[in-house]
Amino acid sequence: MELKRKDILNLSCMDREEIDLILQTAESFKEVSKREIKKVPALRGKTVVNLFFEPSTRTRSSFELAGKRLSADVINVSASGSSTIKGETLLDTARNIEAMSADFIIVRHASSGVPHFLARSLQSAVINAGDGANEHPSQGLLDLLTIKENKGTLEGLKVVIVGDILHGRVAHSDIHGLKKYGADIHLVAPPTLLPAAIEQWGVTVHYHLDEALKDADVIMLLRLQLERQGTGYFPTLREYSQLYGLNRRRLALAHPEALVMHPGPINRGVEVTSEVADGLSSVILQQVANGVAVRMALLFLLSGGKHV
Amino acid sequence: MSEPHMAILIKGGRIIDPALKRDEVGDILIENGLIREIAPSISTPEGAAQVIDAAGKVVTPGLIDLHTHVREPGYEYKETVATATASAAAGGFTTICCMPNTNPVNDNQSVTELILEKTESEGLVRVFPIGAITKGQKGKELAEIGELVKAGCVAISDDGLPVMNSQVMRLAMSYAKIFDVPVIDHCEDLNLTNNGVIFEGNVSTRLGLRGIPACSETVMVARDLALAELTEAKVHLAHISTAGSVQLIREAKRRGIRVTAETCPHYFALTDEAVGSFNTNAKMKPPLAGERDREEILSGLKDGTIDLIATDHAPHASDEKEQAMDCAPFGIIGLETALPLSLELLEKNILTLPEVIQKFTSEPARVLGKKTGQLDIGGPADITIIDLDAEWIVDAKNIISMSKNSPFIGRAMKGRATAVIVGGKLIMNQGLRGE
């Protein structure tokens, strides 16, 4: 089976068969990262450009490693080192990169829709590495893979997503991905950090963390962007962590084998206590490891690779 | 094109003049720039005269747009007096009122004079400048409104921006009474807008775009209605887009508050669904709202709560629109699509044909307090001839405006202006589009 797409922009518009294919391919690539020589020749001669207009360590290095483990040439372009600060338009920057025969352009941008805009304008395959408050599809996929590995299935799980849903592109991708497998999704956030009409996505909304945690199979904590403090969405980090921070007492309300997940980087003591983040329920580092495999799968499948 | 003083005889059209309650088939004779005669049948006068066969067509007072961004001076790469007036003529307008958010802002006599001089030398239709309410549209100190009016401004507005400070707005409304000009407000609470880019709702959530809540408009409408009641000034509310605003205005009018309101064709023809997958040509302020809002706009048009239809023609260059949704400027062009989109209201039984014409002629004239927008014997001959049955598709390459930022590109239209006469001069006949 192969993936019949030019770009990866959103999980919202992907069907379950496509997601299954990506997850299966990622599972088989996990083995590559465990080899002594962590490399396969699948993308030899291909060029991957990481075009990041927002700072990122995890996602950028994950895509970089994914490309390199498939033997592609990978370069990183970050906004601070690019022509954008010299006044070049977004489209011109992207067209210049494409003119250097980039096969893949991995885009992260603070504005929603930038990868979609570039995908429409360019021949290169575009992968969305996070756009504004829209989606972060590769993160959503690696979250699905991590849950599936630990729980054996994605069907019918109770998943509690906690934190800034309003600006939360990870949450958006997770919700779209999980809905396709019939997960029971609960969102917990202050009303100031919930987007309009989110109930229409078929999720249950809570303002209080304790009431949502009962029998939870997965607790997904979202990173609170610290720069949001002082913008009035919540009074202080202290109060936020009291209301929405995951600690040992709260974890005990969930299913005994509940998974604790976080897309990183963690604000320890804000979204989650160190005790829980480093505890037995935490699969946070497994998420990171799965990230490389999922991104290898995306690059491989977009280049026409077939899963056997 | 004809000589300005050549006589023109328009024959056999259905003449609709809402102001003078005329709706009948007949002929109109124009001489020396003025309407000489309207009668069931006029024979061709002696000497040279151009005869326009209007059989099967509708002949109306020239359409007036109360809300146009002409962009000159300062943004001539988006639009100029020459191109905006050509676009207006193509859309059937004989008069456009230009908003002051140019560079420099039209907050003083010299900018007003420049616009009027440009219109004199390059304009195809009439341009009535609108002066700024506050100096530099900064919302702090009143502009020299008296001087602006003396120089030719017909109204004042800080359009593009609200006057956020309610005390400044109160003073502006009070002061404007000296000159009896309308105060046109762009109703928006910038704090509630909070850097939003599209309407807050399903679509903004789906696309992860910052939403502008409906109340960003309605709280300012409520404020302006309270200030209109207090000051008894002539207050006109621009580009109304939400259900809540329509309801507030309806109630205020019922209570006898002196207020008028406009909407734009995109607010009754589209909803925020038109944003689709990040279409920057569906980004404007106020934003396209929800279906419930659209329905209330239609009901406001039907019951007269909304007095008139204006375009909010806001040209932007393609380079500016071809970027991230967050960064693309707000605004769409509208002069060439306003009439056919409004004619769609006939088939939906929202308005009758004379009512549609009224919302583009006598109603804007009433807001301006000018004796225009009607077919007076002896008055200036500003006339639009409309073919209600013309079917066409909006195509970027046929748009006359310098900018092509329209969400209606590709949409099938029915009805268009086929001829426009301004001051007795035939500006456009059978289209400017070169078809």
| C-alpha to C-alpha distance for A103 and A126, rounded to whole angstroms | 9
Positive or negative, the CA dihedral A257, A262, A265, A266 is: negative
Higher pLDDT among residues A86 and A195, named by residue: A195
Residue B211 contacts residue B196 (beta carbons within 8 Å): yes
Q: Are strands A158-162 and A73-78 parallel, antiparallel or unpaired?
A: unpaired
Overall average pLDDT of the A211-235 stretch: 89
Q: With contacts defined as CB-CB under 8 Å, which chain B residues touch A128?
A: none
Residue tagged 């909010």 (tokens): B312
Cβ pair A112:B278 closer than 8 A = yes
How far is the alpha carbon of B278 from chain A, nearest alpha carbon, in Å?
Answer: 6
Q: With contacts defined as CB-CB under 8 Å, which chain B residues touch A135?
A: 208
As beta bridge partners, residue B419 has B385, B429
Cβ pair A197:B205 closer than 8 A = yes
Q: Is the pLDDT of residue B291 over 60?
A: yes
Q: With contacts defined as CB-CB under 8 Å, which chain A residues touch B324?
A: 90, 109, 111-114, 117
* Contacts with B181 (C-beta within 8 Å, 6 or more apart), sequence order: B145, B149, B153, B154, B155, B156, B234, B369
Determine the residue among B293, B318, B325 to mutate to test chain A binding: the one whose Cβ has the most chain A Cβ atoms within 10 Å.
Answer: B325
Determine the residue among B197, B200, B204, B206 to mutate to test chain A binding: the one whose Cβ has the most chain A Cβ atoms within 10 Å.
Answer: B206
pLDDT of residue A84: 58
* Contacts with B125 (C-beta within 8 Å, 6 or more apart), sequence order: B62, B85, B88, B89, B93, B94, B95, B96, B420, B422, B427
Q: Grade residue B1 by pLDDT with cuts at 50, 70 and 90.
A: very low
DSSP state of B62: P
Residue A18 contacts residue A137 (beta carbons within 8 Å): no
Cβ pair B208:A198 closer than 8 A = no
Average pLDDT, chain A: 93
The total of other beta-carbon atoms located within 10 Å of residue B237's CB is 27
| C-alpha to C-alpha distance for A259 and B296, rounded to whole angstroms | 48
* Active-site residue, from B107, B185, B312, B382: B312
Overall average pLDDT of the B90-102 stretch: 98
Cβ pair B204:A132 closer than 8 A = no
Six-digit token pair at A33?
A: 């990262």
Characterize A134-151 residue by residue with b for buried, 16 or more Cβ atoms within 10 angstroms of its Cβ, and e for exposed: bbbbbbbbbbbbbbbeeb
As beta bridge partners, residue B414 has B391
Q: With contacts defined as CB-CB under 8 Å, which chain B residues touch A201?
A: 205
Where do the domains of chain B lie?
A: 7-59+379-433, 62-368
* Contacts with A54 (C-beta within 8 Å, 6 or more apart), sequence order: A79, A108, A109, A110, A130
How far is the alpha carbon of B105 from chain A, nearest alpha carbon, in Å?
Answer: 26
Enclosing H/E stretch for B357: helix B353-360
Cβ pair A134:B207 closer than 8 A = yes
pLDDT, tens digit (0-9, with 9 covering 90-100), for B347-397? 999 999 999 999 999 999 999 999 999 999 999 999 999 999 999 999 999
Residue tagged 């309801």 (tokens): B247
Overall average pLDDT of the B399-424 stretch: 97
* Contacts with B321 (C-beta within 8 Å, 6 or more apart), sequence order: B280, B281, B328, B329, B405
Prior bond to B73 cis, omega within 30? yes
| C-alpha to C-alpha distance for A77 and B70, rounded to whole angstroms | 40
Nearest to B324 among A117, A135, A201 (CB): A117
How far is the alpha carbon of B224 from chain A, nearest alpha carbon, in Å?
Answer: 27
Cβ pair A116:B205 closer than 8 A = no
Six-digit token pair at B135?
A: 């100096």
Average pLDDT, chain B: 96
| C-alpha to C-alpha distance for B277 and B273, rounded to whole angstroms | 9
pLDDT, tens digit (0-9, with 9 covering 90-100), for B155-184? 999 999 999 999 999 999 999 999 999 999
The total of other beta-carbon atoms located within 10 Å of residue A13's CB is 12
How far CA A67 is from CA of A21, A102, A205, in Å, comes to 19, 13, 38
Overall average pLDDT of the A278-286 stretch: 97
pLDDT of residue B4: 53
Q: Secondary structure of chain B: what % helix, strand, coil (to 5)?
A: 35, 25, 45
pLDDT of residue A1: 80
Q: What backbone phi and psi angles, to 5 degrees, belong to B176? A: -65, -20
Q: With contacts defined as CB-CB under 8 Å, which chain A residues touch B200?
A: 196
As beta bridge partners, residue B412 has B393
Nearest to A196 among B200, B323, B326 (CB): B200
* Contacts with B340 (C-beta within 8 Å, 6 or more apart), sequence order: B392, B413, B414, B415, B416
pLDDT, tens digit (0-9, with 9 covering 90-100), for A160-181? 999 999 999 999 999 999 999 9
| C-alpha to C-alpha distance for A140 and A123, rounded to whole angstroms | 25
Active site residue B376: no
Q: Secondary structure of chain A: what % helix, strand, coil (to 5)?
A: 45, 15, 40
Cβ pair A117:B202 closer than 8 A = no
Q: With contacts defined as CB-CB under 8 Å, which chain A residues touch B327?
A: 90, 111
Class of domain B62-368: alpha beta
Looking at residue B1, its amino acid is M
Supply angle C-alpha A86, A89, A92, rounded to 5.
105
Furthest C-alpha separation in chain A? 56
Cβ pair B278:A110 closer than 8 A = no
Q: Grade residue B99 by pLDDT with cuts at 50, 70 and 90.
A: very high
Q: What is the CA radius of gyration of chain B?
A: 21
Q: Are strands B22-31 and B7-17 parallel, antiparallel or unpaired?
A: antiparallel
In terms of phi and psi (left: phi > 0; alpha: psi -120 to 50; beta: otherwise), the region of B347 is: alpha
Prior bond to A235 cis, omega within 30? no
As beta bridge partners, residue A77 has A51
Alpha-carbon A193 to chain mean position = 19
Contacting B with CB below 8 Å, chain A residues are 12, 89-91, 109-114, 116-117, 131-135, 169, 172, 195-198, 200-201
Six-digit token pair at A212?
A: 């949502």
End-to-end CA distance of chain B: 17
For residue B194, the chain A residue with the least C-alpha distance is A231
Characterize B127-150 residue by residue with b for buried, 16 or more Cβ atoms within 10 angstroms of its Cβ, and e for exposed: bbbbbbbbeebebeebbebeebbe
Cβ pair B319:A114 closer than 8 A = no
pLDDT, tens digit (0-9, with 9 covering 90-100), for B242-260? 999 999 999 999 999 999 9
Cβ pair B324:A133 closer than 8 A = no
Q: Are strands B22-31 and B34-39 parallel, antiparallel or unpaired?
A: antiparallel
| C-alpha to C-alpha distance for B405 and B213, rounded to whole angstroms | 24
Cβ pair A132:B319 closer than 8 A = no
Q: With contacts defined as CB-CB under 8 Å, which chain A residues touch B322?
A: 89, 91, 117
Q: Is the pLDDT of residue B65 over 60?
A: yes
End-to-end CA distance of chain A: 7
For residue A231, the chain B residue with the least C-alpha distance is B194
Q: What is the CA radius of gyration of chain A?
A: 19
Cβ pair B208:A109 closer than 8 A = no
How far is the alpha carbon of A204 from chain B, nearest alpha carbon, in Å?
Answer: 16
pLDDT of residue B365: 98
Out of 3.40.50.2300, 3.40.50.150, 3.30.930.10, 2.30.40.10, the CATH code matching B7-59+379-433 is 2.30.40.10
| C-alpha to C-alpha distance for B164 and A75, rounded to whole angstroms | 48
B100: three-class secondary structure by DSSP: coil
Q: With contacts defined as CB-CB under 8 Å, which chain A residues touch B325?
A: 111-113
Q: Which of B160, B111, B169 is nearest to B140 (CA)?
A: B169
pLDDT of residue A83: 55
| C-alpha to C-alpha distance for B9 and B206, rounded to whole angstroms | 56
Six-digit token pair at A6?
A: 């030019």
Cβ contacts from A onto B, under 8 A: 64
For residue A134, the chain B residue with the least C-alpha distance is B208
